Amino acid sequence: MSSLSIPAIYRLLKRHFETTDSPVARLMATRTNDPFRVLVTTILSARTKDQITSAAATLLFTEVKSLQDLRAIPLERLDLLIWHVGFHEIKAHYLKELPDAIDQLFGGVIPETVEELIQLPGVGRKTANLVVTDAFNKPGICVDVHVHRICNRLGLVKTRLPSETEMALRKRLQKKYWITWNRYLVAFGQTLCLPIHPKCQKCPIFAYCRRVGVKTPH
């Protein structure tokens, strides 16, 4: 795919995001842009559907509103509040470790860079990039399964792993697209560009797609 196509694709993806009800949009409304909520919710979301994460986060935030609350809540209660998410027991331990880790490493303040965030328990590059973009409005490229799949289908990248996709996109995309690229592609992947049986007949960017074996929409 030519880099000249990126602005047109971006505009169409933006329009789709703004006019379509998607799980990722509802999740963003739940976590707002508060760094604490974004960090916690993103840790919860690993290997968990956004609908389930939204419900668990909504319940959790009725009792836990800060790092201090997270430190005070008993582990058993924390695990009960988030038990619907995947690997809830492991994530409960990560969340309990967060306040002390942030105190010891960053003076009690949630850091704003990927390099710092990945030092925290339960935080990988995907989580760190999402916190950077959604909590601090700084350039970062969060690559999940949707972003990885769609960018390869489009021919924007040719990669095997999400980590490779992140680095490839950092070279191909202008920084002005980085902050919102994830949310637009996730919404698109949740509603149209599905892993199996994508809805190509309704795809606004089908003309740019180089996915092999997809029939032209009627």
Report the distance separating Cα 85 and Cα 116, nearest Å: 26
Protein fold of 34-136: Endonuclease III; domain 1 (1.10.340)
| Region at 109 (left for phi over 0; alpha for psi -120 to 50; beta for the rest) | beta
- For the full predicted model, state whether its pTM sits above 0.85: yes
50 token code pair: 């956004």
What would the pLDDT profile of 189-211 be if each residue is shown by its tens digit? Answer: 999 999 999 999 999 999 998 75
88 token code pair: 């809830």
Report the distance separating Cα 218 and Cα 206, nearest Å: 12
pLDDT at 210: 74
Residue 172 near residue 157 (C-beta atoms within 8 A): yes
What's the pLDDT band for 20 if we cut at 50, 70, 90?
A: very high
| Cβ neighbours of 218 (radius 10 Å) | 5
Q: For helices 178-191 and 23-31, what crossing angle results, to 10°?
A: 130
pLDDT at 92: 98
Residue 134 near residue 28 (C-beta atoms within 8 A): yes
What would the pLDDT profile of 76-106 be if each residue is shown by its tens digit? Answer: 999 999 999 999 999 999 999 999 999 999 9
Decide if pLDDT at 5 tops 70: yes
What's the pLDDT band for 215 if we cut at 50, 70, 90?
A: very low
Residues of the chain with CATH 1.10.340.30: 34-136
Give the CATH number of domain 3-21+141-208: 1.10.1670.10
- Measure the CA angle with vertex 148, ends 142 and 152; round to 5°: 140
Residues of the chain with CATH 1.10.1670.10: 3-21+141-208
Query: Environment class of residue 108 by beta-carbon count within 10 Å: exposed (0-12), middle (13-18) or buried (19+)?
Result: exposed
